[in-house]
Amino acid sequence: MSLAPPPPRTLPGRLALNEALDNAPVSRFHRRAVLISGVGFFTDAYDLFVISTVASLVAAQWKLSTTQTSWVSGAAVLGAFFGAIVLGRMADMVGRKRVYALVAAIMIIGALASAASPSFVWLVVSRFVLGLGVGGDYPVSAVLMSEYSNRADRGRLVGMVFAMQALGLVVGPLVALGFVLPGVSAGLTWRLLLGLGAVPAAAVVYLRARMPESPRFQAAVLGRHAKAAREMAAFSDGVVGDQGEPLAPGAPGPALSAREGRAARLGLGDILRDKRLLVLLLATSGTWFLFDYAYYGNTLSLPVILKGVDPAAGTAAKLALSLAMFVVFAVPGYALAVWRMDRIGHRRLQLTGFAAMAAAFVLLAAVPALTTTVAAFVAVFGVSYFFVEFGPNTTTFVLPSEVFPVSARTTGHGIAAGTGKLGAFVGVFLVPSLQSSVGLRGMLAIASAFAVGGLLLTLLLPEPAGRSLEELSGDAPFAEVEAQVPRRALGAAELSA
């Protein structure tokens, strides 16, 4: 008696596409997407680390008060708060691709308008516009890369987008030194520094407009399963498609079933009434707020902090010290986070980073000698910088791109990113005043408490490493089906079902 072979397993169209995405190898398409998405974060980091120099030059030229100088530094951060929330929500309503190119265009306008500023008010408004683009880039670039990615390398790929900040960390101070050391006039220097921020964004506007819509969003929310598969097959040179034999370039995608309906769109009210989503919002937004207060507040105020450690240091010396810390500590932290994140775990890496930050800040606050000697301060503060990048600066960006349902993913990430930028805005204004009232060591003690708070809130998050977006976010029907489906690449028959 012979047994007939079991009938081939068939999967709904969206699930077949998602499994193809989850099991696809890292390809040229993924690397190109990382580069095009990462330009926004290069611009963000470049701008972040030249604005402290710009603010000091503008304050001297225009005789600005301390509050006005803080507005020059903080206007873009405030704009990023609104940009992340508004444009993040828009990307869930009209699609990721439309907002993807829009945010780059906004950054160009903001940077050029800032460089041409004739007055304090114009400069602050232009910086706010720039911030709108920077803030909007956070949820769109993170989620788009997350939805392009496979299961095994998602943290690494999304982290690589964010790690483009590392280049901005280095290029920003180098460009500033390139103008300060030869003695270029202060008025021309700050305008050139701001205007150059438009260059990287201008380089990718066209490329962003040509990138495909998120296949997961297009299939799940818009119901365009076959179109999503065809576009991904074309743009990935057939890597994302038939996992048995890659599709030839230009070949049609797998014939996906159209019988599966669209996923329900979640409105803001639906999100706020869902207890699980509220916990995720609290954890992702709260950790980002607490982290950005400590990170951006200290970073934007770094020249002031270094002046407190070494009152005799000039502009060039402070830029050189900042650059040294970024190259020696921050850049290796980014690189190690990208390399090891998916093995260590995204949540676990965030816990580790917050713990190390808290320890470094406590040490600086408790030992007076560490804040009076430049070498000792830079060494310990630099260690905190390493664990900032090998920890929450990277993971607060990655985690919100994974844990929310597909129809609310950029909304959730945008709220988290916007709340983080609010923390940064508070830090910009609070850190200088705290340093004058409680001193450098008192300010660092407060930063350590914020790091401990971030660690505790991280415990509310799930561990996303190695899990599919659909399983992790609970998007039906994938969570139920995937529990019964082995994690392996699909064959040609299954993909064409």
pLDDT digit string, tens, across residues 326-356: 788 888 998 999 999 999 999 999 999 999 9
- Please give the model's pTM, rounded to 2 decimal places: 0.83
pLDDT in the model for residue 263: 57
Residue 162 DSSP SS3:
helix
| Distance of alpha carbon 412 from alpha carbon 84, whole angstroms | 10
Look at the chain and report how many structural domains it folds into.
Answer: 1
Average pLDDT over residues 61-84: 90
Q: Indicate whether 453 belongs to any domain.
A: yes
| Distance of alpha carbon 147 from alpha carbon 476, whole angstroms | 16
Q: Indicate whether 1 belongs to any domain.
A: no
pLDDT in the model for residue 260: 44
Contact (CB, 8 A) for 207 and 97? no
Checking if the pLDDT of 487 tops 70, the result is no
Residue 252 DSSP SS3:
coil
Average pLDDT over residues 480-494: 36
Contact (CB, 8 A) for 162 and 41? yes
Q: Indicate whether 469 belongs to any domain.
A: no
| Distance of alpha carbon 177 from alpha carbon 172, whole angstroms | 9
Average pLDDT over residues 242-268: 48
Question: Can you give the CATH number for the domain in which 234 is found?
Answer: 1.20.1250.20
pLDDT in the model for residue 12: 45
For the CA atoms of the chain, what is the radius of gyration? 23
Contact (CB, 8 A) for 158 and 8? no
Q: Indicate whether 495 belongs to any domain.
A: no
pLDDT in the model for residue 435: 66
Checking if the pLDDT of 106 tops 90, the result is yes
Q: Which domain, by its residues, includes 311?
A: 13-462
Q: Indicate whether 485 belongs to any domain.
A: no
Q: Indicate whether 148 belongs to any domain.
A: yes
pLDDT in the model for residue 402: 95
What DSSP letter does each residue of 413-443 carry, written as one string?
HHHHHHHHHHHHHHHHHHHHHHHHHHHHHHH
| pLDDT tens figures, 392-431 | 999 999 999 999 999 999 999 999 999 998 888 887 777 6
Q: Indicate whether 5 belongs to any domain.
A: no
- Give the closest residue to 38 by CA, choosing from 197, 199, 157: 157
Q: Indicate whether 18 belongs to any domain.
A: yes
